[in-house]
Amino acid sequence: MEAEKRYLQWKEKTRCQEQIQKELSEMEGHPEQIEECFGKELEFGTAGLRGKLGAGTNRMNVITVGRVTQGIAEYIADRGAQYKDRGVVIAYDCRHCSEEFARLAAEIFAANGIKVFLFASLRPTPELSFAIRQLKAAGGVNITASHNPKQYNGYKVYWETGAQVMSDIADEMLEKIQKTDMFEGVHRMEYKKAVSNGNIVILSEEMDEKYLQLVKSLAIHEKEELATDIAIVYTPLNGAGSRPVQKILKERGFCNVSVVEEQKDPDPDFTTVGYPNPEDRKAFALAEKLGTEINAEVLIATDPDSDRMAVEVRDENGSYAALNGNQTGVLLIAYILEGRKEKKSLPAKGGMIKSIVTGDMGAKICQAYGVKTYETLTGFKNICGKIPQLKEEGREYVFGYEESIGYAISEEVRDKDGISAAMYICEMAAYYKKQGRTLLQVLDALYEQYGFYKEEQVSFVLEGMKGTERIKRIMQRCREEQFVQFGGMKIEEKIDYRNGYKEIAKSDVLKFVLEDENWFAVRPSGTEPKIKFYFYAKADNEREALKRLQKVKEDVLSFAEGIE
148 binds ligand G6P, rule: CB under 6 A: no
Query: Which residues are registered as beta bridge partners of 371?
Result: 350
State which residue, 46 or 242, has the beta carbon closest to ligand G6P. 46
The stretch near ligand G6P (CB under 6 A) out of 4-12, 86-94, 372-380, 492-500 is 372-380
Q: How is 383-415 classified by DSSP, letter by letter?
A: HHHTHHHHHHTT-EEEEEEETTTEEE--TTS-S
Query: How many angstroms from the chain centroid is the CA of residue 41?
Result: 22
In the complex, least distance from residue 166 CB atom to ligand G6P, rounded to whole angstroms: 13
Least distance CB 91 / ligand G6P (angstroms):
15
Please identify, among the stretches 181-189, 309-317, 487-495, 526-534, the one whose residues bind ligand G6P according to the rule CB under 6 A: 526-534
Which one, 47 or 102, has the nearer CB to ligand G6P?
A: 47
- Tell me whether residue 51 or residue 526 sits nearer to ligand G6P (CB atom): 526
Is the CB of 508 or the CB of 555 nearer to ligand G6P? 508
CA atoms of 90 and 266, how far apart (whole Å): 18
Q: For the window 225-264, what string marks contact with ligand G6P as x by the rule CB under 6 A?
A: ----------------------------------------
Strands (E), 294-391: 298-302, 309-314, 320-323, 350-355, 371-376
- The residue from 33, 57, 148, 525 that contacts ligand G6P (CB under 6 A) is 525
464 within 8 A of 328, measured Cβ to Cβ: no
What is the number of other CB atoms lying within 10 angstroms of the CB of residue 261? 11
Residues 532-551 that bind ligand G6P (CB under 6 A): 532
Confirm if 75 and 172 have CB atoms less than 8 A apart: yes
Burial bucket for residue 319 (CB in 10 Å: 0-12, 13-18, 19+):
exposed
Binding mask 393-422 for ligand G6P (x = CB under 6 A): ---------x-x-x----------------
Comparing CB distances to ligand G6P, the nearer of 79 and 472 is 472
Q: What is the dihedral of CA 331, 334, 338, 339, to 10 degrees?
A: 40
CB of 48 to ligand G6P, least distance (A): 9
Q: Is 217 annotated in the active site?
A: no
Nearest distance from C-beta of residue 325 to ligand G6P, angstroms: 9
Could you tell me whether strands 152-159 and 200-203 are parallel, antiparallel, or unpaired per DSSP bridges? unpaired
Q: 10 vs 380, which CB is nearer to ligand G6P?
A: 380
The stretch among 136-144, 175-183, 378-386, 497-505 that binds ligand G6P (CB under 6 A) is 378-386
526 binds ligand G6P (CB under 6 A): yes
CA–CA distance from 248 to each of 129, 173, 211, 274, 276 (Å)?
Answer: 18, 37, 10, 27, 22
- Which of the following is catalytic: 25, 98, 129, 146? 146
Helices (H), 299-353: 325-342
The secondary structure element, H or E, covering residue 156 is: strand 152-159
- Orientation of helix 125-135 relative to helix 418-434, angle to 10°: 110
CB 23 within 8 A of CB 55: yes
Give residues 287-346 in contact with ligand G6P (rule: CB under 6 A): none
Q: Is 528 in the site for ligand G6P (CB under 6 A)?
A: yes
Q: Is residue 254 classed as helix, strand or coil in its secondary structure?
A: coil
Query: What mask, x for binding ligand G6P by CB under 6 A, covers residues 38 to 77?
Result: --------xx------------------------------
Q: Smaller CB distance to ligand G6P: residue 47 or 232? A: 47
Q: Is 379 in the site for ligand G6P (CB under 6 A)?
A: yes
Please identify, using beta-carbon distances, which residue of 86 and 150 lies nearer to ligand G6P: 150
Alpha helix locations (H) across 94-165? Answer: 98-111, 125-135
What is the contact surface with ligand G6P in residues (CB under 6 A)? Answer: 46-47, 146, 378-380, 402, 404, 406, 525-528, 532
Give catalytic residue positions: 146
